[in-house]
């Protein structure tokens, strides 16, 4: 009897453990598109992915910028919101993202908007809705990150579709995917148990008129 009770409890705990990633994956399954099939949207949200030691985009970030430029060039979005970390004077992810889109991909500066407090997915999604007026967007990030990004932005009031920026194998791919699993549980805690602090502020600009 005791063994049966232990087995039941263990099964329930396993279900609870699997539930968050399963829900996010099922939610994202119908929302992830490709460049060829994605519907047009007023704006694309490009999530930061770190800078290299020489203050250039990491491989993952460069792939996100590549996909974002394709979305604009093909007329699938009118504006880009590049969101990343700028918590120190020497680390300015959004500016690097914007300058790379201008210098390397030839995008006009006036269609690129920089969000300097997108320190993590929660912050980017919340600020995109509350400070940038975004209700509908294409989310640009790697495939392993899209389920969490879509779920989080959806919880913040953004109806999003996702386009994967996984254009190559990454050296730290296993680390990224392992870390993502932990981030999924953290996202559920943030969204449904806690309300974490984020850098708020006044409304900036309506990117989704």
Does residue 98 fall inside a structural domain? yes
Q: What is the DSSP string of 170-194?
A: -TTHHHHHHHHHHHHHHHHHHHHT-
**Which is it for the CA torsion 194, 137, 23, 85, positive or negative?**
negative
Mean pLDDT of 2-27: 64
Rg (CA), the chain: 18
What order do you get walking across the sheet with 41-47 strand by strand? 32-33, 159-164, 136-141, 41-47, 77-83, 112-115
Provide, rounded to the nearest whole percent, the portion of the chain with pLDDT above 90.
66
CA contacts within 13 A on the Cβ side of 162: 26
Q: Answer whether residue 209 is part of any domain.
A: no
Least confident of 6-10, 24-28, 66-70, 123-127: 6-10
Asked if residue 207 is part of any domain, the answer here is no
Average of per-residue pLDDT across 29-37: 91
Query: Which CATH number do you get for residue 27?
Result: 3.40.50.620
Query: Are the CB atoms for 64 and 47 separated by under 8 Å?
Result: yes
Is residue 90 helix, strand or coil?
A: coil
9 is a domain residue: yes
Of 104, 106, 128, nearest in space to 47 by CA:
128
Classify residue 15: in a domain, yes or no.
Answer: yes
Structure confidence by residue, pLDDT tens digits, 150-184: 999 999 999 999 999 999 988 877 887 888 888 88
The answer as to whether 200 is a domain residue is no
Domain that holds residue 33: 2-192
Q: What pLDDT sits at residue 150?
A: 96
- When pLDDT is averaged across residues 77-85 and rounded to a whole number, the result is 97
CA atoms within 13 A on the CB side of 86: 16
CA distance 144 to 177: 6
Q: What is the pLDDT of residue 28?
A: 78
Residue 6 pLDDT exceeds 60: no
Q: For helices 93-103 and 59-73, what crossing angle results, to 10°? A: 50
Written as six digits, the tokens of 47 are 């999530």
pLDDT of 36 above 90: yes
CA separation for the pair 147, 165 (Å, rounded): 13
Q: In Å, how far are 86, 128, 159, 196 from 199, measured between CA atoms?
A: 11, 12, 22, 10
Tokens read off for 18: 């699997």
Count of domains observed in the chain:
1
pTM of the model: 0.89
Give the single-character DSSP code of 40: P
**Is pLDDT above 90 for 88?**
no
């Amino acid at each position: 009897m005791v063994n049966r009770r232990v087995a039941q409890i263990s099964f329930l705990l396993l279900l609870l453990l699997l539930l968050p990633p399963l829900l996010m994956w099922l939610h994202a399954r119908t929302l992830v598109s490709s460049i060829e099939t994605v519907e047009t949207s007023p704006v694309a949200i490009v999530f930061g992915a770190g800078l290299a030691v020489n203050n250039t985009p990491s491989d993952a970030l460069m792939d996100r910028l590549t996909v974002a430029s394709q979305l604009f060039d093909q007329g699938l979005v009118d504006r880009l919101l590049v969101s990343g970390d700028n918590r120190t004077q020497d680390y300015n992810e959004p500016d690097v993202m914007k300058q790379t889109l201008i210098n390397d991909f030839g995008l006009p500066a006036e269609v690129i908007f920089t969000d300097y407090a997108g320190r993590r997915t929660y912050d980017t999604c919340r600020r995109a809705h509350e400070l940038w007026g975004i209700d509908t967007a294409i989310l640009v990030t790697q495939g392993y990150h899209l389920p969490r990004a879509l779920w989080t932005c959806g919880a913040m009031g953004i109806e999003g579709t996702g386009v994967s920026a996984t254009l190559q194998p990454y050296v730290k791919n296993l680390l990224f995917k392992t870390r993502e699993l932990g981030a999924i549980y953290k996202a559920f805690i943030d969204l449904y148990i806690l309300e974490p602090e984020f850098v708020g502020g006044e409304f900036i600009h309506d990117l989704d008129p």
